[in-house]
């Protein structure tokens, strides 16, 4: 089982990347589970026509011990198994703690044993990398962390903070950095500045996604472009990124076994 986490600042296109990477892998015949770890609970919306699915935390509040896997796992038309952790009632509780609660309940319900996913993708809010938001980095969850960035100053700043957190957590046995996904915004010297960021953390750019009206239109329609236009240039870029991410994760697993 390959387990990876995708982090990035709010608005960087992290969920668009996650949904399209998940769809690209599912299209190759893999069983993919995408787990949204953002209190907004919109990680998997592009896989469901723009609609949000019920969250684990909301369902726990409603059903308590009666909660079942059928309540929390939704299969998209593209074959991706979708879960949204959710968040606390606004103004009450800790969003990070909510992610911990949701992931622990998925384990208790036996989600991984029942569905036997080949790939698990955690889509995580990346503005804060502490508490529950670091949960997917911990041992037993993601093996590799991939960071979505652009050439914009604040996006690079946030990406650097995430990369630094991953490196710091690594000494505790957490997951390691897998690479950076460049989601272009067509700013000056974008490729060079993100390449420099990758070099600073001894990692690589695993994929580059051009800014495209096709992606924007698909997002507005609540669709993953990999599903609706698999032959398009953006779909091929997402698929190439997905393939490289899996190669890196497999390589890390092989290194551990030798």
Q: What is the pLDDT of residues 131-177, one digit of tens each?
A: 555 666 666 688 899 999 999 999 999 999 889 888 887 777 778 99
In the residue annotation, 14 being an active-site residue is answered as yes
Tens of pLDDT, residue by residue over 7-54, are: 988 889 999 999 999 999 999 999 999 999 887 888 999 999 999 999
In the residue annotation, 153 being an active-site residue is answered as no
Q: Which of 14, 38, 123, 143 is catalytic?
A: 14
Predicted structure pTM score: 0.91
Q: What are the residue boundaries of the structural domains of the chain, listed by start?
A: 2-257
- DSSP codes, 203-227: --EEEEE---HHHHHHHHTT--HHH
At the topology level of CATH, where does 2-257 sit?
A: Rossmann fold (3.40.50)
In the residue annotation, 58 being an active-site residue is answered as no
In the residue annotation, 3 being an active-site residue is answered as no
What's the rounded Cα separation, in Å, for the pair 9 and 35?
A: 17
Helix (H) or strand (E) holding 193: helix 190-200
Q: Which of 3, 9, 143, 219 is catalytic?
A: 9
Q: Which of 40, 75, 229, 236 is catalytic?
A: 40
Q: Which of 58, 118, 127, 229 is catalytic?
A: 127
Chain CA centroid to CA 103, Å: 14
């Amino acid at each position: 089982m390959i387990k990876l986490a995708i982090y990035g600042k709010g608005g960087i296109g992290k969920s668009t990347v996650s949904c399209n990477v998940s769809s690209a892998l599912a299209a190759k015949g893999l069983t993919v589970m995408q787990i949204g770890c953002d209190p907004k609970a919109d990680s998997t919306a592009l896989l469901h026509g723009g609609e949000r699915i019920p969250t684990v935390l909301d369902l726990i509040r409603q059903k308590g011990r009666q909660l079942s896997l059928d309540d929390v796992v939704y299969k998209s038309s593209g074959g991706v198994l979708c879960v949204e952790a959710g968040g606390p009632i606004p103004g009450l509780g800790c969003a990070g703690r909510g992610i911990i609660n949701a992931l622990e309940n998925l384990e208790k319900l036996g989600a991984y044993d029942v569905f036997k996913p080949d790939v698990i993708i955690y889509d995580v809010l990346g503005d804060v990398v502490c508490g529950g938001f670091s949960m997917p980095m911990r041992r037993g969850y993601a093996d590799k962390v991939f960071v979505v960035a652009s050439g914009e100053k604040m996006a690079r700043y946030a990406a650097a903070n995430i990369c630094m957190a991953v490196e710091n957590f690594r000494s505790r046995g957490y997951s390691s950095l897998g690479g950076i996904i460049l989601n272009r915004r067509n700013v000056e010297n974008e490729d060079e500045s993100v390449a420099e960021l990758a070099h600073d953390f001894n990692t690589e750019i695993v994929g580059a996604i051009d800014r495209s009206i096709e992606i924007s239109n698909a997002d507005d329609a609540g669709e993953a472009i990999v599903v609706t236009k698999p032959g398009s240039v953006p779909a091929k870029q997402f698929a190439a990124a997905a393939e490289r991410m899996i190669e890196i994760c497999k390589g890390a697993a092989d290194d551990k076994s030798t």
